[in-house]
Structure 1
């Protein structure tokens, strides 16, 4: 009788431990997937000035009227534009959403 009770207790302990390990592994893999998606950057391809969305061009001209366009890039999914501009030998990279909304400016 003692052996039967001891066997049942050990079986329950192993089952509880196995469920705990599986749960923590799942939580870890979900955290890793979330971190990876946040850290991914968009890929950009070079485009001609005529291919810049009109809303983006209008906002950029208003904000950077004394600058010259060096290079224009568009994200491969078409949601963002990266404009490399220059003035007095200093380069600036401006990022815009495709609707013309300013995202940020990076001094190069």
Structure 2
């Protein structure tokens, strides 16, 4: 009986974790595709602009988008690279996509 109980708890725990993993994948996909609307570069918060200046010396901020749920998506480029940088609405850096 004790083994049966432990086995059932293990199965339920694994099932719950699998659901969370699926949820995380869906959230990541939604973030990548996002429901962003284009904004002017001057609408990007100062904290994010400072971070961009430090992280991407020699790059120009070409375009900016905002999503209520996901934050900012920023397009930067220089002569050789194009980078899409993602920030939370709080100004926290999330990730880069280099093209």
- TM-score bin, normalised by smaller chain: 0.5 to 0.7
TM-score by length of 1: 0.59
Which 5+ residue runs of structure 1 have no aligned equivalent?
1-30
Task: Tell me which of 25, 46, 54 is aligned to 2:46.
Answer: 54
Instruction: Please give the residue correspondences for 1:5-44 in structure 2 after superposition, counting only pairs within 5 Å.
Output: 35=23, 38=27, 39-41=29-31, 42-44=34-36
1:88 aligns with 2:62: no
Which 5+ residue runs of structure 2 have no aligned equivalent?
1-18
TM-score by length of 2: 0.64
Task: Tell me which of 35, 45, 49 is aligned to 2:37.
Answer: 45
Higher Rg of the two aligned structures: 1
- Matched residue count: 76
